[in-house]
Amino acid sequence: MQFATPLIPARLFRRYKRFLADCSLEDRTEVVAHCANPGSMMGLAEPGTKIWLEPNDDPKKKLKYGWRLVDHENGHFTGVDTSVPNRALKAALLAHEVPGLKYDLVRPEVKYGENSRIDFLLSGQGPDTYVEVKSVTLSRQPGLAEFPDSVTARGTKHLVELAEMVRQGHRAVMLYLVQRTDCADLTLAGDIDGTYVAAFHAARAVGVEVMAFDCAISPAGVNVRRPVRFVDPV
């Protein structure tokens, strides 16, 4: 998935009201960027952090910049836009590039459960496959990514609904896309949301599958890359 507009570097002043970020461009122009991330962004929103913004000239948008990446300035990046994983995964699914998920028909945002939409409904061979995608950006130990970075009642609800799809005879997959280039392993952060972890164990016990992939990330774009090792949470 390539970014629609070339990204430009900036420095973060502050993130506030969850979806807003004050930034300084290289020429010291101060701008407000949209932050498409409802999580805590723990460790990613420190003042002075180098970031990458996507400019736009859409008259329908109030803000002319979107915050897309954190640049760790050591060759590694983190993608902070939670809409990007679905776009990147859709491209990979359509190209039949995701191991274990090569289907003829890929349908995004299909209604299911109780007032929910599954990220992807895959069909064409065997039972229908329901795929829920989560963006992973938290890392508190070198090389280890964690999900979630804040309490996620919505994420817990999705696990319950995936489990119900399995009970109805379908295939269900919880897919974590690690939007960091510095992590080879993934686990769940039970100290942050124990309820989510309990729902995860219950869902996997009835047959919900777990997949985890990392991404190739640069100011040019974000692409699904390879599987990462899932470390079972305690």
In percent, how much of the chain has pLDDT > 90? 93
59 upstream amide cis, omega within 30 of 0: no
**21 pLDDT above the threshold of 90:** yes
Over the stretch 176-214, which tens digit does the pLDDT of each residue have? 999 999 999 999 999 999 999 999 999 999 999 999 999
Task: Provide the pLDDT for residue 207.
Answer: 98
**60 pLDDT above the threshold of 90:** no
Which band of pLDDT confidence, cut at 50, 70 and 90, is reported for residue 35? Answer: very high
- Tell me 181's DSSP state: S
Whether the CB-CB separation of 136 and 146 falls below 8 Å is answered with yes
The CB-side HSE value for 95 (13 A sphere, CA atoms) comes to 12
Whether the CB-CB separation of 124 and 103 falls below 8 Å is answered with yes
* Domains of the chain from N-terminus onward: 8-79 (2.40.50.580), 84-230 (3.40.1350.60)
Task: Provide the pLDDT for residue 170.
Answer: 96
Which band of pLDDT confidence, cut at 50, 70 and 90, is reported for residue 58? Answer: confident
Burial of 115 (0-12, 13-18, 19+ CB in 10 A): exposed
Task: Provide the pLDDT for residue 61.
Answer: 86
Q: What stretch of H or E contains 228?
A: none
Rounded-to-integer distance, Cα 143 and Cα 199, Å:
25
Which band of pLDDT confidence, cut at 50, 70 and 90, is reported for residue 85? Answer: very high
Task: Provide the pLDDT for residue 115.
Answer: 82
Over the stretch 115-172, which tens digit does the pLDDT of each residue have? 889 999 999 988 899 999 999 999 999 999 999 999 999 999 999 999 999 999 999 9
Rounded-to-integer distance, Cα 58 and Cα 49, Å:
27
What residue type is 33 in one-letter code? A
Q: Please compute the mean of the pLDDT values over residues 88-95 and round it to a whole number.
A: 96
Q: What stretch of H or E contains 166?
A: helix 153-167
The CB-side HSE value for 23 (13 A sphere, CA atoms) comes to 32
Whether the CB-CB separation of 12 and 47 falls below 8 Å is answered with yes
The rounded mean pLDDT for the chain is: 96
Q: Please compute the mean of the pLDDT values over residues 41-57 and round it to a whole number.
A: 96
- Helices 153-167 and 194-205, packing angle to 10 deg: 10
**109 pLDDT above the threshold of 80:** yes
In percent, how much of the chain has pLDDT > 70? 100
Rounded-to-integer distance, Cα 145 and Cα 131, Å:
20
**5 pLDDT above the threshold of 90:** yes
The two structure tokens encoding residue 217: 């990330």
